[in-house]
Copies of this chain bind each other. A is one copy, B any other.
Amino acid sequence: MKDYVQEPNLFKGLSDSQLENIIGSGFHRNLKPKSVLFHQGDPANRIYMVKRGRLKLSMLNEQGGEVIIRFINSGETTAAVASLKDKDYPVTAETVGETEVTGWDKATILGLMSDYPAIAINLLNTVLERINEVQQRYLELSTERVEQRIARSLLRLMQSTGLKKPEGILINFPLSREDIAKLSGTTLYTVSRTLSKWGKIGWIKSGRERITITDPHALVLFSENV
């Protein structure tokens, strides 16, 4: 029955049958890899939950510079607050791999909230976490060196999507050097050099769009200690 991988944040604390009801009230979309769910500047008229796969949220500036704000993994939601306010949302959401999402429009989600008050509470929690995370990353971007930021990016991805393997913890989706660069505020060249170095000293193993962290402890120490 539950075909999403993790317990969805927004619906935490609800029973399976309530969940089934809620999911049923949304509309579903199956998206191919690298398709755009919504685009920077679109009116945010829907809240989305990822049931399977993953979304990449990014922002673009006028000169073409791009950053990745975060990934939305299965069970997580996005555009929640914006969709309630009918504002334009300055973020693009693109699928990473085959991805299934459920969406609700504003009226539906408001109805759900009044039926299940837990949802409003969960929404507040989610919003708080998101603000804190962006601010934390803003601090890091402003005060830390590139390699430290790359380490932090990998560790965050490890925590959210890591898969235990005999050789270490695999970041379990296709992730290019350029993605890491846009997550860390640097260039793909610097990322490549850094990962090469870390490969040589045994902290990670990496291939084409694949990264395994073989010495998480070393990486954590490095990310915190200089």
Contact = CB atoms under 8 A, between A and B. Distances in A.
Interface stretch (A5-13, A135-143, A165-173): A135-143
A84 B142 CA distance: 29
Contact of A69 (B65, B135, B140): B135
A137 B138 contact: yes
Nearest to A87: B128
A17 interface: no
Contacts of A91: 135
Interface string A63-98: 101110100000000000110110100110000000
Interface in A162-215: 182, 185
A20 interface: no
**How many copies make up the complex?**
2
Interface residues of A, number: 38
A25 interface: no
Contact of A131 (B63, B81, B136, B185): B81
Contacts of A155: none
Nearest to A226: B63
A132 interface: yes
A138 B139 contact: no
Contacts of A84: 124
A141 B142 contact: yes
Contacts of A127: 81, 127, 131
Interface of A: 59-63, 65-67, 69, 81-82, 84-85, 87, 90-91, 124-125, 127-128, 130-132, 134-144, 182, 185, 224, 226
